[in-house]
Chains A and B, each alone.
Chain A
Amino acid sequence: MLFVLQIEAGGLAVRIGVYFCNCGTNISEKIDCAEVKRLAESMPGFAYIKSVEFLCSEAGATAMESDIRENRPDRVVVAACSVRDHEETFRGVSSRAGLNPYLMQMVNIREHIAWVTEDHHRATQKAASYIKAAMARVKLHEHLERELIDICPDVLVIGAGPAGLKAALALAEAGRKVCLVEKGPVLGGMPVKYEEVFPKMECGPCLLEPVLGEAMHGPHAGNLEILTLAEVTEVVGYYGNFTATIRQEPRYISHELCIACAECIAPCPAASKNPFNFGLNEKKAIDFPFLGALPNLPFIDPQSCLRMAGKDDCHLCRDACAVEGAVNLGDEAKSAARQVGAIVVSTGAGGYDCSKLPNLGYGVLRDVYNSLEFERILAASGPTAGALVKADGQPPRRIAIIHCVGSLDRDHVGYCSGVCCSNAFKFNNLIAHKVPHAEVTHFFKEIALAGKEEFTLYEKARSRNSTRMVRFDDIRQLNVSSGGNSSLTVTRERPNGRPKQTDFDMIVLCQALIPSHGTAAVARLLELDVDEHGFLEELHGRMDSARSKVRGIYFAGTCQGPMDIQKAVNEGLAAAGYVLAGLVPGRQLAIEPVVAVVDASRCSGCRSCMTVCPYKAITFDTTADAAAVNRVLCLGCGTCVAACPNAAIKGNHFTNEQIYAEIEQVLS
C-alpha cells in the first residue's frame, strides 16, 4: 500500500504549471487562452495556466520566476514562441526559481500555429493539443544537471610547419604550456626549403626564421617544449583531458652542449643521398639537414651511420667534437607522456607522385624535376647552392613548366591545389633572375590565381618575351621524351592531328598537393575522418574549418586541404583561438546533459552505435562488456539511440517514452 502511494507521489501527483505568452496580441488574437485552459485542464497533473503579456520581457520573466517560487509546480510548460529563440531564456527563469531547467518544456504556438493558421478555432485546438502533448512529455522529464569537469589548458601541437608554429606561439604567448612535436630534425615545414615564396618573392627562410627564433628563444619560449625527431604514438582521453604518449628518436647530439661548429661533419666516412634535398645531393651520416636549418645542430642518421648500422665501431665525429659530451653516441629513444586539454594537428601535405603520369618522364629522364625538387635547385641552401643548372652543370636555356600534374584529373586527384600556378609563375620569375635569357614555356590545363596579389607574378611572367603559354585539354596529350644532345622533347597532340614537338633542356612538373604520410598516420592514430582525397575532414568546411569532428582536436594548414602559407598560418591562429576560447585555466568545462546514455545490462555488444556516431563518442568498454558514451564528446544527436537494436541506449531529454507520450497526445 505504501508502495502505491509512493508511485502516486512521484508520478500522478506531479503538478504542472502552464505559462501562456500572449506575445502582445501576436498569439492571443489567434489563440484563445481560456479555451485552451478548458481543453487542457482535464490533463492529469494540470495545476494552472497563466497568461502573460510578454513572457520573455524582463517583467514577464520576473513574474514567471516569482510565480514558480510561489506555486511550486513540479514541472512547467511554456507556450510561446520558438524553442530556438527562448528555450535558454525559460530554462534560466526556471533555474532561478529553483526548478531544474530540464523540467521545463516549451511549445511553439506562435511561429508554428498563430502566425500560420487562418482559422481561430482550429488554431486554438492545435495549441491545446501541443500544450497537452508537452504536459504528457514534461511529466516524464528527468532532473538533469550540467556536469562540470576540470580541464587541462595545455596543448599538443603535431607538426612544426608554419601553421603549427603559429598556433604554438599564440598559445604560448597566452600562457599555455605547449608541446610541439615534429617528426623531422628540422622546424619550419615546407616553406623553409623555398628560396622565395609567392606572391611578394620574400625569402622563405627569412619569412620563417623570426617565427622559429621566437619559438626557440622568444619571451614565451619557456612555455614551449619543442620535440624534434618525435612522433605521437598514442592518445587517450577526451577534450580537456588527453594523455599523449610521444616517442622521440635519439639525435645523438646534445641540444644544450652543441655549438654548431660543424667540426664533426668532415671526418664522417659515411654519406648517403640527402632526403632534405630530395636526393639531389649527398650528406654525411652526421650532418645538418640543410644549410640554415633550425634548430641549428646536426643529427646522426642511424640508417647511414656505420656505427649505428653495426658495421663499425666508428666514433670519428665524437673525437672531432670540440665540446665534451655534445656528441652522445649512446643516446637512446625516449618515450614521454604529456597531459593536454586540446590537440592541434598540423601535419602538412606532400606532393603527388609524378611517376604516376609516365608520359611525363619523371623518375626516368634526366632533368625532369617535380616542383619541390626544383625549389631546392633554386634555393641558396640547396644542392647547387642556388645555381640553376642541369645535371651536367650547365644552365638550362629552355625550360618547360608543366602545370596541373595530377590535378583536375579524376584519374589522379580531381581537385585543383590552388597554389601551383602561383608557384609556377614564381619559378618563371626566379628563372628570369638566375638565367636571364632562358625561355620558359608554361603548359597548363587551367590557370588559377585568385586573390589580390597572386596575379602580379603572372603579369610579370607574361610581360617577358621569353615566356610562352600553351594550353592543353588533357595531360595525356603531352609526351616527354629524350631528344638527342641531352635535350628533352615535349610532343603535344593537337586537334588537327599534327603533333607539335618542342625541345627543352629542363622540365619542371607542378604536381598536386596531397595529404602527407604524417597526416594519414595521425588520422589513424586519432581516429579522425578523412575526406575522399585523404585530407582531414573538418567539422564544417566553411564555418568551422579549423575544428575536427572530435571535440578538442583542431586542424591547421595543409593536412586538411591544399592551401597557401597565408591561409595555413591563419588556420593555425584559428585553432589557437578555439583552444583559448574553449579551455580557460581555472574554468571548468560545462557538459550538456542532453546526451546518450548506455544501459550496460541491456547492451548486447553489437557495436552498431559505434559505427553511426559521427563524433567517436562511443567506445567499447571490455570490462563492462558494453558500449560506453563519453559525455564530453557526445553532442546529443540521438542517432545511436535509434540505431540500437536492443533499446539499450537512452537519449536524455528525448527518450522513447517522452516522444511516445507526445505522439499519443497530439493524436488524441
Chain B
Amino acid sequence: MSTQTVALNPVDAARADFEPKIVGFLCNWCSYAGADKAGTSQLKYPPNVCVLRVMCTGRIDPQFVLKAFEQGADGVVILGCHPGDCHYKEQNYRAIQRHRILLRVLRQLGIEEERCRFDFVSAAEGEAFARIMSEMTGVIKRMGPLNRAAAEGTR
C-alpha cells in the first residue's frame, strides 16, 4: 500500500536517523518471560526499547510513565499477562484501567496516545514480543521525537 510507504514522505525521511528512546515496563511472569523467549528464539528486533521489570503490571504507577516521558522517553510500552492469565489473579485488569485513565491525562498534556501502548505478551509469545518491539519502534520513529514542551507538563 503506497500510502504507507513512509520513505517517500520528506518529513519521515528527515526522521530516518532518529532513534527513539522507549521504555518498556514488563511484568515478571508473562511478558518478561516472553522477552526471554524472543531471546532464546534469537529473534532480531530494534534495540530502542529498554526493559524495566516489575513483578506485575499492577505495580506500574502511572507516574512511572510520566517520569519516563519527563526523562526523555519518546514512547512507553507496558506489557502484561493476557486477561485471565495474571499471576496475581486480576492485577493486569487494574493496569488496563490505569492505562486508560493515563491516556486521557497524556492527551491533555499534548502527548499522543500512540506513544503509550499497552499490550499482552504471554511467556510463550516470543514472536509477539519481538513484533511489538519492532512496531513500537517504527511507530515512534514515524511520529518523531516527543514534543518536549508537552513533556514539561509531566513534571
Which residues on the B side are within 8 Å of A335 (C-beta)? none
Contact check, A112 vs B23: say whether CB atoms are below 8 A apart. Answer: no
Q: B52, A638: Cβ atoms under 8 Å? A: no
CB interface residues, B 66-105, toward A, < 8 Å: 67-68, 71-73, 87-91, 94, 98
- Separation of A594 and B50 alpha carbons in the complex (Å): 23
Interface bin, chain A: 35 or more
On chain B, the residues within 8 Å of A35 by CB distance are: none
Q: Indicate whether B35 reaches chain A with its CB closer than 8 angstroms.
A: yes
Interface residues of B in 23-75 (CB under 8 A from A): 23, 28, 32-33, 35-36, 38-40, 42-45, 47, 50-56, 58-64, 67-68, 71-73
Q: Could you say which residues of chain B place their CB within 8 Å of the CB of A119?
A: 47
- Cβ 8 A contact of B39, one of A116, A130, A654, A663: A116
Answer yes or no: B130 CB below 8 A from chain A CBs.
Answer: yes
Task: Report whether B36 and A654 are in contact in the complex, using a CB–CB cutoff of 8 Å.
Answer: no
Given known contacts A612-B94, A667-B71, is B39 in contact with A129 (CB within 8 Å)?
Answer: no
**A666:B52 contact, CB within 8 angstroms:** yes
Contact of B91 among A85, A116, A639, A664 (CB under 8 A): A639
> From residue B108, how far is it (CB to closest CB) to chain A in Å?
19
Q: Are A639 and B56 in contact (CB under 8 A)?
A: yes
Q: Mark A612-646, 1 if CB is under 8 A from B, else 0.
A: 10100000000000000000000111110111000
A82 to chain B, nearest CB (A): 5
Q: In the complex, which of the residues A83, A85, A112, A614 has the most CB atoms of chain B within 10 Å of its own CB atom?
A: A112
Contact A126/B47 with A612-B58, A639-B59 known, Cβ cut-off 8 Å: yes
Known contacts A637-B91, A639-B59: does B38 contact A663 (CB below 8 Å)? no
With A and B bound together, what is the CA distance between A663 and B63 in angstroms?
11
Chain B contacts of A130 at CB under 8 A? Answer: 50
Judge whether A84 is part of the interface by a CB distance below 8 angstroms.
yes
Residue in B47, B55, B89, B130 whose CB lies within 8 Å of A614:
B89
Contact of A115 (CB < 8 Å), options: B39, B52, B88, B98: B39
Bound: A117/B39 CA distance, A:
9
Confirm or deny: A113 has a beta carbon within 8 angstroms of a beta carbon on chain B. yes
Interface residue SS majority, chain B:
mixed
Which of B21, B32, B55, B130 is A638 in contact with, Cβ under 8 Å? Answer: B55
A85 to B35, CA, bound (A): 13
Distance of A122 Cα from B68 Cα, bound (Å): 21
Contact B54 A654 (CB under 8 A): yes
Q: Would B40 and A113 count as touching, CB distance under 8 A?
A: no
Cα of A144 to Cα of B39 in the assembled complex, Å = 31
Task: Decide: A656 near B61, CB < 8 A? Known: A84-B33, A116-B44, A639-B94.
Answer: yes
Residue of B nearest to A660 (CB): B67
Contact A84 B28, beta carbon cutoff 8 Å: yes
**Of A83, A110, A111, A133, which is in contact with the most chain B CB atoms at under 10 Å from its CB?**
A111
- Confirm or deny: A96 has a beta carbon within 8 angstroms of a beta carbon on chain B: no
* Cβ contact of B61, chosen from A108, A641, A664, A666, cutoff 8 A: A641
A654–B32 CB distance below 8 A: no
Contact of A83 among B42, B53, B58, B68 (CB under 8 A): B53
Partner of B42, one of A115, A549, A667: A115
| CB proximity to B under 8 Å, residues A97-144 | 108, 110-113, 115-119, 122-123, 126, 129-130, 133
- Contact A118 B72, CB 8 Å, known A637-B59, A638-B54, A643-B94: no
Most buried by A among B59, B63, B71: B59
Task: Give Cα distance in the complex from A115 to B45, angstroms.
Answer: 10
Residues in chain B near residue A110, CB distance under 8 A: 39
Considering only CB atoms, which chain A residue lies closest to B74 in the complex? A667
Other-chain contact of B47, A113, A656, A660, A664 (Cβ < 8 Å): A113
Give, as a whole number of angstroms, the nearest-CB distance from B23 to chain A.
6
Indicate if the CB atoms of A667 and B73 lie closer than 8 Å: yes
Knowing A84-B32, A656-B61, the reply to whether A663 touches B68 (Cβ < 8 A) is yes
Report how far A638 CA is from B98 CA in the complex, Å: 14
Q: A639-B58, A667-B68 known; A549 and B44 CB under 8 Å?
A: no
Q: How far is the CA of A384 from the CA of B78 in the complex (A)?
A: 66
Bound: A115/B44 CA distance, A: 7
Interface string of A642-668 (1 = CB under 8 A from B): 110000000100101001101110111
Q: Is the CB of B47 within 8 A of A123?
A: yes
Contacts of A635 in B (CB 8 A): 88
CB-defined contacts of B59 to chain A, threshold 8 Å: 637-639, 641-642, 651, 654
Known contacts A115-B40, A116-B38, A130-B50: A642-B33 contact under CB 8 Å: no
Q: Smallest distance from the beta carbon of B81 to chain A beta carbons, Å?
A: 11
Name A594's closest neighbour in chain B (CB-CB).
B55
Q: What residues of A have a CB within 8 angstroms of the CB of B40 in the complex?
A: 111, 115
Q: Chain A contacts of B61 at CB under 8 A? A: 641-642, 656
In the assembly, what is the distance between CA of A507 and CA of B36, in Å? 60
Q: CB-CB < 8 A to A117: which residues of B? A: 44-45, 47
CA distance A407 to B39 in the complex (A): 47
Within 8 Å by CB of A654, from B21, B42, B50, B55, lies B55
Contact A663/B23 with A549-B89, A638-B56 known, Cβ cut-off 8 Å: yes
In the complex, chain B residues whose CB is within 8 Å of the CB of A659? 52, 54, 64
CB neighbours (8 Å) of A641 from chain B are: 59, 61
Q: Is the CB of B89 within 8 A of A666?
A: no
**Cα(A102)–Cα(B32), bound, Å:** 20
Instruction: Determine if A663 and B71 form an interchain contact, defined as CB atoms under 8 angstroms apart.
Output: yes
Contact of A667 among B21, B28, B51 (CB under 8 A): B21
Q: Which residues of B contact A85 (CB under 8 A)?
A: 36
Q: Which residues of B contact A113 (CB under 8 A)?
A: 47
A126 to B88, CA, bound (A): 31
Residues of B within 8 A of A594 (CB): 55
Q: With both chains docked as a complex, state the minimum distance between the C-beta of B139 and any C-beta of chain A, in angstroms.
A: 18
Cα of A215 to Cα of B94 in the assembled complex, Å = 46
Q: Which residues of B contact A664 (CB under 8 A)?
A: 71
In angstroms, Cα B51 to Cα A612, docked, is 26
| B53 proximity list for chain A (CB < 8 A) | 83
| Chain B contact residues, CB within 8 Å of chain A | 21, 23, 28, 32-33, 35-36, 38-40, 42-45, 47, 50-56, 58-64, 67-68, 71-73, 87-91, 94, 98, 130
Could you list some 27 contacts between A and B, CB below 8 A? A84-B36, A111-B35, A111-B36, A113-B47, A116-B43, A116-B45, A116-B130, A119-B47, A126-B47, A130-B50, A637-B58, A637-B59, A637-B87, A638-B54, A638-B56, A639-B56, A639-B59, A642-B60, A642-B98, A659-B52, A659-B54, A659-B64, A663-B52, A663-B67, A663-B73, A664-B71, A668-B72
5 closest A-B pairs by beta carbon, nearest first, are: A111-B39, A638-B59, A639-B58, A637-B88, A666-B50
Beyond contacts A614-B89, A638-B55, A666-B23: 17 other A-B pairs, Cβ-Cβ < 8 A, are A111-B35, A116-B42, A116-B43, A116-B45, A612-B58, A614-B90, A614-B91, A635-B88, A637-B56, A637-B87, A638-B56, A642-B98, A643-B94, A663-B64, A663-B67, A667-B73, A668-B72
